[in-house]
Structure 1
Amino acid sequence: MNLALPFPHFRIPFHRPVDLRVDVDPSATDRGDPLALVHERIHTPGDPLHGLPSFGLRDPRFKVHVREVDGERYAYVEDMDRRCLAGSTVFNRLVEVDRRADRHLRSPHSRFLPQYQRQGIATAVYDWALATGICLMTGARQSPGAHALWRNLARRYESGFAELSNKKLTYLGIDIAPGDLERLETRMFLLPAKCSLPEFCEAVGMRNSPR
């Protein structure tokens, strides 16, 4: 399987979905996000955030600054015209999986200011991450915005559902029962374009459901 082991250096690339549970209100968890401070650090010589690798989006207003720390990848989206950060996405490691799956899987979480939402910015960042070979998996909960984003991405990337329990993954299929969707152990995954489902299952040690 030709997945990134470990993650590659930053490259600049430019089924029918089912509903996932939506039980997180971003406004309740993201108040006070210090985007202005992060933007200042990005433009402060000598700061660890200064001089990060970056790439542009199709909309020339935006530049994405990327860093990797302890296997987690951060993407800061800058509005070059307004000289501010529109938001950010972090591709977190999943503490719930074993070391084998941890080499391939990351769970993205995005936070964008209201005026930059629903403009396809987060989608472009996810496209970039998938193009580098990362396999994406949802966390235990999703915000309404993340829920819609994953549904849209599932139209273009191979996707499916898995049960995550005791650090092991069990494949549940493309379509699952509504009751399974409500379980916190149920996770959705998205695969890079060059990764097949059998390759993914082998790489992360995912078993088939006995049901």
Structure 2
Amino acid sequence: MILTLPLALPPWLSRLTELRIDVHHGPKRLDGEIASIYDRIRKPGDRLHGIPRIPLDDPDLVIRHREADGEFYVYVEDVRRRQLAGYTVFNRLIEVHRRADRYVRAPHSKYDPQYQRRGLATAIYRWGLDAGLCMLTGARQSPAAHALWHKLAARYELGYVDLRDKTLTYLGPEISPQVLGDLHTRMLLLGRGWTLGKFSAATGMR
């Protein structure tokens, strides 16, 4: 089942090195991390306790969200099983100029294996893109994340950029394998309402 998120967006989403495909997360490490986050969500007095939540179209699932230092955190909670399914973080990139920092984030997701292949990360990425957030790959990508980006390209404009000296240079919608393997190549997804011209003007991309 592919989930869809509500049309109403929270304010935090409305404000607004290297392309390696080699990241793998061990299940035991992931289980412990997710359980620890969920314990914090349920613990009175913790900064994660009481953060806003929004229902999904699956009655068992809700999302909780928060913003910290310009980074956006989206947690998916299974309210029936009383556990966390996983989370997506939209990270800032220290490699970009402050002009671009206002508009781009690098999303990273971790979900328990039993919740994978249910469209959770896809729905959350689309939510951010539909809110006008532009996405840039970080230094590393998992095979699943790489496939997800190309899936999203069916609905959002995807291109390749060179990132060095905090400057973005557009490389085009397609590049050679040699350029793809360069340490400075990243993938860029434009959020809703953006064109390459608008993005270049706003961020200083060449």
Pairwise TM-score range, normalised by the shorter structure: 0.7 to 0.9
Q: Is the 8 A contact 2:20 2:139 kept in 1?
A: no
CA distance in 1: counterparts of 2:91 and 2:199, whole angstroms: 19
Residue aligning to 1:126: 125
Point out where structure 2 has 5 or more consecutive residues left out of the alignment.
1-9
Q: Is the 8 A contact 1:65 1:76 kept in 2?
A: yes
- TM-score, normalisation: structure 1: 0.84
Residue aligning to 2:171: 172
Residue aligning to 1:37: 36
3-state SS of 2:21 partner? coil
CA distance in 2: counterparts of 1:160 and 1:180, whole angstroms: 13
CA distance in 1: counterparts of 2:78 and 2:186, whole angstroms: 32
Q: Is the 8 A contact 1:123 1:149 kept in 2?
A: yes
Q: How far did residue 137 of structure 1 move?
A: 0.6
The aligned amino acid for 2:61 is F
Residue aligning to 2:90: 91
What is the 5 A alignment of 1:92-171? 92-171=91-170
Work out the number of aligned pairs and report it.
193
The aligned amino acid for 1:47 is D
What is the 5 A alignment of 1:75-86? 75-86=74-85
Q: Is 2:54 aligned against 1:55?
A: yes
Q: 1:9 aligns with which of 11, 29, 48?
A: 11
> Over residues 38-85 of structure 1, what are the superposed CA-to-partner deviations in whole Å (9 max), with x where a residue is unaligned?
212212333211221222222222111001110011111111221100
Q: How far did residue 32 of structure 1 move?
A: 5.9
Q: Structure 1 residues 114 and 162 mapped into 2: Cα distance closer, same or farther (>3 Å)?
A: same
Residue aligning to 1:189: 188
Residue aligning to 1:5: none
CA distance in 1: counterparts of 2:69 and 2:44, whole angstroms: 23
Residue aligning to 2:4: none
CA distance in 2: counterparts of 1:59 and 1:182, whole angstroms: 39
Q: How far did residue 146 of structure 1 move?
A: 0.7
3-state SS of 2:141 partner? coil
What is the percent sequence identity of the aligned residues?
54
Residue aligning to 1:16: none
Higher helix share: 2
Q: How far did residue 28 of structure 1 move?
A: 9.1
> Over residues 117-161 of structure 1, what are the superposed CA-to-partner deviations in whole Å (9 max), with x where a residue is unaligned?
111000111111122221111012210111111111111111111
CA distance in 1: counterparts of 2:119 and 2:175, whole angstroms: 28
The aligned amino acid for 1:54 is R
What RMSD, in angstroms, separates the aligned Cα atoms of the two structures?
2.0
| Structure 1 residue ranges, 4+ long, deviating more than 6 angstroms after superposition | none
